[in-house]
Chain A
Amino acid sequence: GAVVSQHPSRVICKSGTSVKIECRSLDFQATTMFWYRQFPKQSLMLMATSNEGSKATYEQGVEKDKFLINHASLTLSTLTVTSAHPEDSSFYICSARGGWGGFRNTIYFGEGSWLTVV
């Protein structure tokens, strides 16, 4: 079964509204979570890296005020797309790195979330 759960798998929102995507690690504590975005027919691209309890590190070109990332606990990170526009429509996916025991330094991927902004 999945060890990283991402929710929702699909979401449609109106332009100008905000939408939150959750990424939860199941059965392990994730010291680091990563958020990626995939535009049609392109590779997945890293948006930001978040460590529990500290501010996320954003990749060049990713607006931190638009894509709010919160990693408040060792099992949950959220990505909030604020004031969404149709060009934000994309596939978003998270991955989590375990910190201890059998999950240490192993990366697990969420199932991904399809965002459509209308």
Chain B
Amino acid sequence: KNEVEQSPQNLTAQEGEFITINCSYSVGISALHWLQQHPGGGIVSLFMLSSGKKKHGRLIATINIQEKHSSLHITASHPRDSAVYICAVMELDDKIIFGKGTRLHILP
């Protein structure tokens, strides 16, 4: 079993829809990152969370430390949001474990 599980693996939605991507982990962590990777492009760091909730534009990230779960939400999704979204957790010894990513495709 992977220590970091993301769901869904693939998601296709219509423009404007509210998107939720989930990340569950099984280890103790000091922080959790959400990353965005466009096809053939680089990595963009979206959020780093250790508790609660953060918002940046149309993106919202939440984390529940007790439940070992985080969600990334996209409101009013747009085709340019199409990318792979990666959850990465930083263990207490600074080791980072990456999820396999969620491939999001927003249709116009």
Contacts and interface: CB of A to CB of B under 8 A. Distances in A.
29 contacts: A6-B42, A9-B42, A34-B96, A36-B98, A43-B98, A43-B99, A43-B101, A44-B86, A44-B88, A46-B95, A46-B96, A93-B42, A93-B43, A106-B31, A106-B48, A107-B31, A107-B33, A107-B48, A107-B90, A107-B94, A107-B96, A109-B33, A109-B35, A110-B43, A111-B42, A111-B44, A112-B37, A112-B42, A114-B40
A43 B31 CA distance: 18
Given A9-B42, A107-B48, A43 B96 contact: no
B100 interface: yes
B45 interface: yes
Interface string B74-101: 0000000000001010100011101111
Contact of A112 (B30, B43, B88): B43
Contacts of A109: 33, 35, 43, 45
Interface residues of B, number: 21
A interface, size bucket: 20 to 34
A14 B96 CA distance: 32
Contacts of B95: 46
Contacts of A111: 42-44
A24 interface: no
A95 B42 CA distance: 13
B95 to A, nearest CB: 7
B46 to A, nearest CB: 10
Contacts of A105: 30
A110 B33 CA distance: 13
A32 interface: yes
A71 interface: no
A109 B99 CA distance: 15
Nearest to B95: A46
B56 to A, nearest CB: 14
Interface in A15-35: 32, 34
